[in-house]
Amino acid sequence: MDVGQIAGLIAAIAFAILAGFLIYPLIRLGKLFDQLAQTIKQTGDHVVPTLDESTSTVTQLNQTLTDVNRISAAASTTAGNVGALTDLYGSMLGKPVIKVAAFLYALRKTISSFLSGGRDSAGAKSSTAKKANDGHGNEGRTR
């Protein structure tokens, strides 16, 4: 054996030792890639049912929102109708009821004045005159 062959033998042994040290990390890296591929496959298997379920949830939510919109529109229409009905009753019944109440009040005052012999009306006039004169020269003026 000459020097060249010994140097080649040493280089071959060093290469074999280096290859031995590099094999272990490469095997670990291969296992990591296998686990990664398996995780991606499982994730893909679970994503499809989740997407289907979320699609059905969104569909149900849209239906519920449609129902809520329909209900709120009906409530708005009802509120408008109640307001219009209140205005109608107020204009048709309010003025006549006020006139009847004023007439009945005047009738009651007249009858009570007639029965008391006019004493209530004289007392009312004098108290009204006292109220009108406030002592500051403002007779009969309203503030």
At residue 46 the predicted structure's pLDDT band, cuts being 50, 70 and 90, is confident
DSSP structure class, residue 91: I
Mean residue pLDDT of the chain comes to 83
| Residue 137 predicted with pLDDT over 60 | no
Cα 48 to Cα 25, 40, 59, 61, distances in angstroms: 35, 13, 17, 20
**pTM as predicted:** 0.40
Find the radius of gyration of the CA atoms of the chain: 52
Per-residue model confidence (pLDDT) at position 1: 75
pLDDT above 90 covers what percent of the chain?
49
138 falls in which pLDDT band (50, 70, 90)? Answer: low
